Every structure is written in C-alpha cells, then in structure tokens.
C-alpha cells in the first residue's frame, strides 16, 4: 500500500511538474526599420531549448535554438537573416530575441517557448510597430498653404492652427498607404494675401511622437546691390537645428548644435557674410539672381518653424545689370568722348572756313583779269563766252 501510495504521489508530482506556466502578455514598441529586442527569460539549465513563434492562424517559426546552436530549418521566409538570440547568455536564462529591420508586417503577438530539465515555459509578447513622424513639410504653392509628411505608422492625425487664432479657413486632407503599409498624409488650405501677418501651424502626430511646422510670409526690399539681413526669429531656445534655403530647393547653409558652427554651400560662399545667434542671415554682393524666397527652418526633435521671406531687389532689371559705380564710370567716359568729338568738329569747321577765304581772293583778282581779257578779245574778234569758260575751268582747278 505504501508503495502504491508513493507511486500515486509520484505520478501526481510528475503531472504537476509538466504543467507549462504561462506568463501574462508584455507590450513592446519597435521603431520601423530599426533593431528591436523581444524579452524572454527562463530558469537556466543545461541543454535548453528555445522556440520563437509569431502567433497567427498557423504559428510561424521565427527562430529556434537547441543543441547549443541556431536551428533555422523551419524559419519562415519573412524572418530570414533578421533574427538572433544571445547565445552567450542562454545559460544564464536569457532567451530574448533580437529582430532587425523591423517592418509593419512584424506587428503582432509572439510566443517564446523554453524547455529545460526543470520544465517548460511559455511567455507572450505583443509587438507594436511605430514609424515615427520625422519631418513635416510646410510651404506655399500658389494660393495654397500645404502641409505634408510621409512614411508614418500607424495612421497619423493632422491638425491646423493659426497665430493669431482664426477660424475662417477650411482644410482639405488626403491620405495614402504605401506598399510597406506606411501612411503619407497631406493637407492644404487657401491663403489670402490679406492674412500676411498670420502664422500657420501644422501638427502631425501618432501615438509615439509628433512634429509641428509653422509657416509665416515676410517681405524684405533693398535698393541696388547693398547687403541685407534676413530675420529668422528663434521663438524657442530648444530649436537648435538651422537650415536656410533659396526658392525652396537650394540649400544655402546648415547649422546643428548649440556651438553656432555652420556650413555654407559652395555656390553661396561669396554671398553669405554672417549668421547671427538667432539665425538671421546677412547677405552681400547681391544681383537679380539672388532675388526670390528665402526660407529659414528651425527645428528640434518635436518642432519645426519655417519662415519665408521674399527678397525684392530694386533698380535691377535683369541679370546683366552692373553696380552703380560701373554705370557712373561709363557715363563719364561717354561724356568725355562726346566733348572730344565736338571739339574735333569745331576745329574742322574753322579750318574749312579759312580755306574758303583763301580761295575767294584769287577768284576776285582773276575776275578783273577776265574783264580786261574780254575787252581785248572783243577788239580781236574772239568769242568772249568761250574765253570765259576756259578761265572759270582753270579757276575751279586752282581752288
């Protein structure tokens, strides 16, 4: 009897020992395309066995480890070359899974099954994937203020606001999901030049983070080719990243960090004179090629402030215009040439008048000689008209 009782007790003990304890689900948030660790621990023992599954209608093999090495023969294709366990820590009870290049499709419930001589154990992980809001673009396109952001998960929310507050705008919003299951979102509202003093803010947010972009339109006018400073008001000391752009495409300079050091693009080195601590940009040696929209973008991990300033340069008609001192030099030179030509003309006219005077005196003397000759010829019976013609011909030849 004692033997039977011991046998029965042993059977009950063995049955209880084989009951697999199940832990409550743990939540893990992973960032899209980054590395993520799914935690799992067990009571250490020799010859441990680890199986990771993604729980679906049919469990997908994610990673297996036993006989002191990875066993990937049944691994699902979606996880190839993306999983690993910490081999050197398994003997200490660490069965955590490292997943790289996290995708939206990886989101879901995972099971970590461990087995040792001490027993079996299951734990579950709920993996959530977040594609963060990295950038919010805000700009004016025609009579619209547009706001957009791309590559976000889960579906984001976009909210407009104005400073000072205004409720007279109506926003239109569009969403699109990519083949990677990420969301692209955009919105626009109509802009009126009568609202030039209004600042427009667009906030794109998810459960993990949010970013805000603010747009404001200013106008700066300078005369000629003098230098000018374009303001970029830093409303928050935390906005330490600075970018200046020209016509929304050309990068003028970039600055990151609080040390104030900046990098100027090669094509703008001759025009950028200085950048102030507040981010204001001082330009020099300007021409009509530098007339356009200057965008100051200040940002940090959560906010982006965009200020657009349209720079209008007076007294420049085209890109071939020259500096004022060059125009003055050309005008003075032209005046000197005109005065020289006038003096030459006066000298020529004076010389020509002197020659005519010298030619007139011989003509008078020869006219008197002609009269005498006509008298003689008349007595001799010669044709006076013929003699006169010969005399005038010789006189013209002389002058």
Alpha carbon distance 319, 313 (integer Å): 12
Average pLDDT rounded to a whole number, residues 218-239: 73
Provide the mean pLDDT of the chain.
80
User: Could you tell me if 262 and 252 are in contact, meaning their C-beta atoms sit under 8 angstroms apart?
Assistant: no
Distance CA(373)–CA(392), nearest Å, equals: 13
In degrees to the nearest 10, what's the CA dihedral of 17, 19, 23, 28?
Answer: 110
- pTM here is 0.64
Rounded CA separation 131/206 (Å): 9
Can you give the pLDDT at residue 398?
38
CATH superfamily name and code, 17-130: Immunoglobulins (2.60.40.10)
Q: Which of 155-159, 354-358, 380-384 has the highest mean pLDDT?
A: 155-159
Total Cβ atoms within 10 A of residue 230: 19
Instruction: With beta carbons less than 8 A apart as the criterion, state whether 260 and 277 touch.
Output: yes
**CATH dotted code for 216-321:** 2.60.40.10
Q: Which residue has the higher pLDDT, 370 or 68?
A: 68
**Domains 131-208 and 216-321 are alike in CATH topology:** yes
Instruction: Please state, as a whole number, how many other Cβ atoms lie within 10 Å of the Cβ of residue 44.
Output: 16
Give the residue extent of every domain in the chain: 17-130, 131-208, 216-321, 327-398
pLDDT at 117 over 80: yes
For 235-254, what is each residue's pLDDT tens digit?
Answer: 566 667 899 999 988 999 99
Architecture of 131-208 per CATH? Sandwich (2.60)
User: What CA–CA distance (Å, rounded) separates 380 from 371?
Assistant: 14
Q: Is the pLDDT of residue 270 over 80?
A: yes
Cα distance between residue 83 and residue 342, in whole Å: 94
| 3-class SS shares of the chain: helix, strand, coil, % to 5 | 30, 40, 35
Q: Given the structure tokens 């910490």, which residue do they identify?
A: 86
């Amino acid at each position: 009897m004692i033997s039977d009782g011991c046998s029965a007790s042993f059977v009950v003990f063995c049955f209880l020992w084989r009951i697999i304890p199940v832990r409550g689900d743990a939540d893990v948030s992973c960032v899209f395309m980054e590395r993520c660790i799914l935690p799992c621990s067990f009571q250490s023992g020799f010859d441990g066995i680890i199986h990771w599954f993604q729980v679906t209608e049919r469990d997908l093999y994610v990673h297996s480890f036993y006989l002191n090495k990875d066993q990937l023969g049944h691994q699902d294709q979606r996880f190839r070359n993306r999983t690993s366990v910490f081999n050197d820590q398994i003997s200490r009870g660490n069965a955590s899974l490292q997943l790289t290049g996290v995708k939206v499709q990886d989101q879901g419930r995972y099971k970590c099954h461990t087995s040792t001589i001490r027993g079996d154990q299951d734990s579950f992980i709920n993996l959530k994937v977040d594609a963060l809001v990295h950038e919010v673009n805000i700009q004016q396109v025609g009579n619209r203020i547009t706001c957009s952001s791309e590559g976000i998960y889960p579906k984001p929310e976009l909210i407009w606001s104005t400073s000072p507050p205004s409720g007279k705008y109506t926003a239109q919003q569009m969403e699109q999901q990519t083949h990677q299951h990420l969301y692209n979102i955009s919105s626009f509202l109509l802009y009126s030049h009568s609202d030039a003093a209004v600042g427009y803010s667009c906030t794109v947010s998810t459960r993990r983070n949010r970013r805000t972009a603010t747009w404001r339109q200013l106008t700066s006018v300078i005369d000629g080719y003098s230098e000018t400073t374009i303001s970029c008001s830093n409303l928050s000391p935390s906005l330490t990243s600075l970018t200046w752009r020209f016509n929304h495409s050309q990068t003028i300079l970039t600055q990151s960090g609080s040390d104030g050091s900046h990098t100027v693009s090669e094509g703008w080195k001759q025009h950028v004179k200085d950048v102030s601590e507040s981010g204001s940009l001082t330009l020099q040696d300007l021409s009509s090629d530098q007339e356009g929209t200057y965008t100051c973008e200040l940002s940090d991990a959560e906010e982006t402030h965009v200020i657009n300033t349209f720079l209008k340069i007076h007294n420049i008609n085209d890109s071939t215009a020259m500096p004022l001192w060059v125009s003055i030099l050309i005008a003075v030179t032209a005046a000197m040439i005109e005065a020289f030509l006038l003096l030459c003309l006066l000298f020529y006219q004076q010389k020509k008048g002197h020659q005519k005077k010298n030619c007139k005196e011989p003509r008078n003397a020869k006219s008197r000689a002609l009269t005498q000759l006509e008298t003689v010829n008349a007595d001799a019976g010669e044709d006076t008209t013929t003699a006169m013609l010969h005399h005038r011909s010789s006189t013209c030849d002389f002058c």
